[in-house]
Amino acid sequence: MSGPAQALTPPPRVVRPVPEPLGLYFRVGRNDHRELLELIASGETRFFGLVFDPTYLHFQKELVDRAIERRLDVILDPRTQASATIGGFSSALGSLPWGCGRPHIEEDFTGAGGRPLIARLAAFAVEHGCSQLLTPSHVLRSTDDEWWEIDRESAKQIREELDRIGRPRTSLLYSLAISYAMLRNPAERRALRRGLKGLPIDAIWLAVDGAGSHTTPTAVRTLLEALHEFHELGVPVVADHVGGVAGLALIAFGGVGALAHGLTTGERFDTSHWWRPKPKKPFGLARRVYVPPLDLLLKPSEVQTLFAFGTRVKGLFGCRDTRCCPRGIIDMLENPAQHFLHQRIEEISKLSTIPASLRASRFVDQRLRSTTDAVLAAANLKWADEQLGNRIRKQRKRLDRMRIALADLAESGIRHSVSEVPSRRIIRIAAERPPLSH
């Protein structure tokens, strides 16, 4: 007779560590605070923080308060890059505490007047509850540029000033704005790394003039090869003003640990208009509609032209995510900012779930493959709007080349370093708390 049944001990299971979430920041435009307040109210906080323009902060305080409540980073961009150019300067920038009523010149940041200017900037960041601050830097065309030395000294001074006024935990993010020619030049990259090494900074926010969501496959590969060299500095690298498939590629291949850009705009860093006088009648860009399968932001009228092809096309390109578009195409067209925000957050979140060692190949095999297939289907439609049809066909060629270039890079077997991911504010706060006593 057999004995009593014995309880079986379940075999141990291998628990795989959850990959660290990748970073995403949104730059807050003049009227974006309403959309971001709605996003936060919905409970969506799978992004790291918000970058504020100081000229808009006086009417965006509620968004700052809500971001602080949700432990999101509140980042101040002092806008010194635009302020030092004839076309980027504005009276609003000139009226800031660190403004001079005219475009900045090198002497404003040096000598007897330089330190008080830096002190006023630090005080403004603290007064408005900013947890992080982009350094007051300028667009570089060469490391021989006088601004290069001035900007590095300004970074040291603002760190000292923040420490002096009791804000040692306010993170300092070095805003490195350079030309594409500088990025391609090995000697310039070495000089940049030497200059940045040892600075009291917590991350590098890299903006490359002309780079962004429409960057060519060759430029994306060049960016990746150059970005890996900056990892030796031991701080996270963030691609500033970069979105779309190009931005997702930079983060999937480990070149950067986070992306930062605006809401349906600001996905390309373009300073060309800064070097000429402002137009007398400034114009703003209307909100565009993000179509992820095409990697395009289209005007609402262009999206309607696309969906006019019928049910099959609506099924291919219409949003079916009920969090942003519960009524499908209707909400996609009526609430393009919410649609964009949710879709970009979801794109980054999906990449975050993939182990870093597999992220590049999965990105090519899954995201890029499906995108190129979708764009091919769109390109084969019989477009009455020839201009839009040509744009779609041009996009097909670009993404086909992107897939080939990145597939080759993913299959090359070359093991590149991976950028650190910026630390989230909620994690930093938890680390600062003393351990519970027993």
Domains of the chain: residue spans and CATH: 23-275 (3.20.20.80), 289-411 (no CATH)
Residues 238 and 257: their CA atoms lie apart, in Å, by 6
SS3 237: strand
**Cβ-based neighbours of 222, under 8 Å, separated by 6 or more:** 183, 184
Count CB-CB contacts under 10 A for residue 143: 19
pLDDT in tens, 365-379: 999 999 999 999 999
Each residue of 84-140: pLDDT tens digit?
999 999 999 999 999 999 999 999 999 888 999 999 999 999 999 999 999 999 999
Report residue 407 CA to chain centroid gap.
24
DSSP β-bridge partners for residue 134: 173
Can you tell me the distance from the alpha carbon of 255 to that of 251, in angstroms, rounded to the nearest whole number?
6
Task: Say yes or no to pLDDT of 427 above 60.
Answer: yes
Model confidence at 12, in pLDDT bands (50, 70, 90)?
A: low
Q: What's the pLDDT at 434?
A: 67
- Residue 267's nearest CA partner among 292, 294, 245, 299 is 245
- Classify residue 71 as left (phi > 0), alpha (psi -120 to 50) or beta: left
| Inter-residue contact 425 to 49 (CB < 8 Å) | yes
Structure tokens at 291: 């179509």
Confidence of residue 9 (pLDDT cuts 50, 70, 90): low
Residue 364 has pLDDT above 50, yes or no: yes
Give residue for tokens 């969501």: 213
Angstrom distance (rounded) from CA 343 to CA 340: 5
Count of C-beta atoms within a 10 Å radius of residue 168: 9
Q: 175: helix, coil or strand?
A: strand
pLDDT tens across 142-165, in order?
999 999 999 999 999 999 999 999
Report residue 11's pLDDT band, with 50, 70 and 90 as the boundaries. Answer: low
Q: pTM to 2 decimals?
A: 0.93
Q: Could you report the per-residue pLDDT of 260-299, keeping only the tens digit for each?
A: 999 998 899 999 999 988 776 655 667 899 999 999 999 9
Average pLDDT, the chain: 93
Share of the chain above pLDDT 70, in %: 92
Q: Tell me how far CA of residue 144 lies from CA of 107, 141, 389, 407, in angstroms.
A: 17, 8, 45, 37
Count other Cβ atoms within 10 Å, centred on residue 428: 17
Q: What's the pLDDT band for 18 if we cut at 50, 70, 90?
A: low
Instruction: Count how many Cα atoms sit within 13 Å of the Cα of residue 86 in the half-sphere of its side chain.
Output: 5
3-state secondary structure of 240: strand
The helix or strand, by DSSP H or E, that contains position 164, with its residue range, turns out to be: helix 146-164
